[in-house]
Chain A
């Protein structure tokens, strides 16, 4: 089973605050991903990375940033949280192949008041 971790698991924060969601994996995977998922809805790709110093934007990236300084670490930052950011954030990783399986962390449930 995959070893991928996210912190915090739950976060309640006020509007305008800057927050960073942490994601780490111990599998040595090159590729990492951030998804946003609302209940009963599909996953939306926010950002992804092919490896160290590589970051790419997904469908919903305009209000967040990521960095990939180390292979195992892929944090997501919201500069100014808004109620519309309330959602479940899922981090995933995969090996370097084009169709390799993505393994997910447990998720962070974010609520912005």
Chain B
């Protein structure tokens, strides 16, 4: 079967750095997305990785290792507005998106 694992919940302090991990086992791989979802709202796109390595976009960076079936989202200089769920989704061999359950990130002052 296809499986995506993310921690259920993480807590971090305002101004700090946090890394949210995602491991996947899917039938094929055609890229990995990270989305942010505030409570009661729709997911919004953060990043897309298809090649190994780190991609940086402002305070957010995303890393991919295809050989390890592993990705992480790195959030720097945390702000209270970063409190949200972070969803990892993999594009499988049929070009369908397989979604993780998301990681709820709680930011404390």
Q: Is the interface of A mostly helix, strand, loop or mixed?
A: loop
Chain A residues in the interface with B (C-beta under 8 A)? 40-45, 90, 98-99, 101-107, 109
Are B95 and A99 in contact (CB-based, < 8 A)? yes
Distance in angstroms between the alpha carbons of A101 and B46 in the assembled complex: 10
Supposing A40-B104, A104-B43, A106-B41 touch, asked if A98 and B33 sit within 8 A by C-beta, the answer is no
Q: Is B101 an interface residue (CB 8 A)?
A: yes
Given A40-B102, A98-B30, A103–B97 Cβ distance below 8 Å? no
Q: How far is the CA of A36 from the CA of B104 in the complex (A)?
A: 18
What is the size category of the interface that chain B forms with chain A?
20 to 34
Bound-complex Cα distance A103 to B33 (A): 12
What is the interface of chain B, defined by CB distance below 8 A to chain A?
4, 8, 30-31, 33, 40-45, 48, 50, 85, 87, 89, 91, 95-97, 99-102, 104
Cα distance, A106 to B42, chains bound together (Å): 5
Chain A nearest CB, measured from B51 CB (Å): 12
**Given contact pairs A99-B48, A105-B42, A109-B40, a sample of 20 additional A-B residue pairs in the complex whose CB atoms are under 8 Å apart:** A40-B85, A40-B101, A40-B104, A41-B101, A42-B99, A43-B43, A43-B87, A43-B99, A44-B99, A90-B43, A98-B91, A99-B30, A99-B31, A99-B95, A101-B45, A103-B45, A104-B42, A104-B43, A104-B44, A107-B42
Question: What's the least CB distance linking B50 to chain A, in Å?
Answer: 7
Would you give 5 A-B contacts (Cβ < 8 Å), ordered by A? A43-B87, A98-B30, A99-B30, A103-B45, A104-B44
List residues of chain A with CB within 8 A of the CB of B85.
40
Q: List B contacts of A45 (CB < 8 A).
A: 96-97
By a CB distance below 8 angstroms, the chain B residues around A90 are 42-43
**Which of A42, A90, A109 gathers most chain B CB within 10 Å?**
A42
**Chain B residues within an 8 Å CB radius of A41:** 101
